[in-house]
Amino acid sequence: MTRDLQAFLTGALPRSEALVEATRGLERKRVTPEACEAQRVEDATAAIELQDAAGLDFISDGQLNWQDLFRPIVEACKGLEGGALTRWFDNNTFYRKPTAVGELALHSGLPHEFFRTRLLNGHAWHVILPGPYTFARAAEGAGHAAGFEERLDATAKLLRQAARWCADRGARHIQFSEPWLVYQPPKKRQLAAAAAAYATVTKGLNADTVLSTYFGDLKGVYPDILDFSVDAIGIDLTATNLSDLKEHDFDKGAVLGVVDGRNSLVETPAEIVALAAEAQDVLDPDFLAIAPTCELELCPRSVADEKVKALGRALELGRESL
Amino acid sequence: MSARLFPTQEIGSLMKPAWLVKGLRGAELSEGDYAELGRWSKELRLAKEAKRVEELLKAHPGPRRDLELRDLASIHQIRYLEAAGLDFVFDGEVHRAEMYEHPVRNSKGFTFYGHVRSFDNKYYLKAAATSRVGFLRP
């Protein structure tokens, strides 16, 4: 059966060498905030053009000023502080642990500088937010939301506000990044709490939604994850064997992580399409999308650019052959 | 090998002192930076070395001066860990730009592709193995 194939990014793009220099210069007070911001705009424009030229269906601004996946939410929420530097899974990259110090709520929306809606004008805007389970696992509470399930519930309500803020400003496609769900699969009770968190986050949300898993095997939360209240599930195919998923009816969209965001080797379009064809046969999902496994930010910009172009060529090839 | 039941050691790089970071960059030290140099040189009994650091900071940056600054920082870091009473000490990697870059630069078979963010506005150069990897120099 021929279906339309989609493609989009899974996370932040890497900064260009010029932006690396500008942000370093900013820290050393050699570059003014205005000059650094001009470079960020140039990078974001290039990131949008790159995705556009590759023919991606949903376009992000590259998240080039997100210091980690949680930071814009932390900065917008008075009840959160950026805490200790903590390793981002098994990568040579770190995030600041969100630390609950008060009520988890957004009182004035999200900071506009993290969502470059003006540059995205005319494109189908793809927003990438942390998923509630991963946020609650990555965070800690000191007196406030100290228990995990209490924190998960509070985080879900916070992310619901964030997702609505984006949808109200035109976001068409909202991804919730959930590496923790598969890196260390939760026990049944916590998985049920995670499912409830998604019911909270996506209730009444006027956008397509993806729950993106990566850095682990989807088998650990399968098939329970099919009951989560989202339109599509992202699968890291460097960690998941498709044949392990064939026993259940995949009644959602499948977003295939087919471009390895942690490896400098650029995939060929033929390799990507072969995986997509296999996924279509094995899963028979509601729709199929191809994407990087995780944030391409874990590769240098020159490599990431080639990977996005390969994704675009695979999209073209896949639409002809699948 | 120490016969102690629980030998102690530090397991990662130490933060480089401000006088080294700014000195290598050719930036001016603040009064606070000089005060810190003075405080630690007293604490670690490195008065002679601190005097030499101050002389070098006034000199023009260059390979020989920078190497001597790093060597003095090595002495500082080793004495710092010795003063804490650790069983195994090292120089806190003050001669390295970044943990992985140093051995990769001194090996063969790798190609550097560009910077990747480590955290905030800190980056490391990422390399990939593009041919047979081998030892070049220590």
- With CB atoms and an 8 Å threshold, state whether B100 touches A67: no
| Res A144: pLDDT | 61
Mean pLDDT of A25-29: 89
Q: CB of A93 within 8 Å of any CB in chain B? A: yes
Q: Count H helices, E strands: chain B?
A: 5, 2
| Res A143: pLDDT | 61
- With CB atoms and an 8 Å threshold, state whether B117 touches A265: no
Nearest CA-CA distance, residue B6 and chain A, Å: 27
pLDDT band at A145 (very low <50, low <70, confident <90, very high): low
Return the percent helix, strand and coil in chain B, to nearest 5.
Answer: 45, 20, 35
Nearest CA-CA distance, residue B97 and chain A, Å: 14
Mean pLDDT of A144-153: 84
Q: List CB contacts of B84: < 8 A, sequence separation 6 or more.
A: none
Q: Who has greater pLDDT, B18 or B61?
A: B18
Mean pLDDT of A5-34: 96
| Res A66: pLDDT | 98
- What pTM does this model have? 0.89
Please provide the DSSP assignment of A61-88 as one string.
---TT-SSTTHHHHHH-TTEEEEEEEE-
- With CB atoms and an 8 Å threshold, state whether A14 touches B128: no
Nearest Cα residue to A63 out of A44, A79, A76:
A44
% of chain A surpassing 90 pLDDT = 94
Structure token digits, residue B10: 């530090």
B99: left (phi over 0), alpha (psi -120 to 50) or beta: alpha
Q: What is the pLDDT of residues B10-30, one digit of tens each?
A: 988 899 999 999 999 888 899
Q: What is the pLDDT of residues A157-216, one digit of tens each?
A: 999 999 999 999 999 999 999 999 999 999 999 999 999 999 999 999 999 999 999 999
Mean pLDDT of A217-240: 98
Q: List the Cα angle B15/B106/B82 in 5-degree steps.
A: 35
| Res B61: pLDDT | 86
Q: What is the pLDDT of residues A66-115, one digit of tens each?
A: 999 999 999 999 999 999 999 999 999 999 999 999 999 998 999 999 99
Amino acid code (one letter) for B122:
K
Q: Who has greater pLDDT, A14 or A29?
A: A14
- Closest partner residue to A302 (CB to CB) among B25, B113, B120 is B113
Q: Is A139 helix (H, G, I), strand (E, B) or coil?
A: coil
Q: CB of A74 within 8 Å of any CB in chain B? A: no
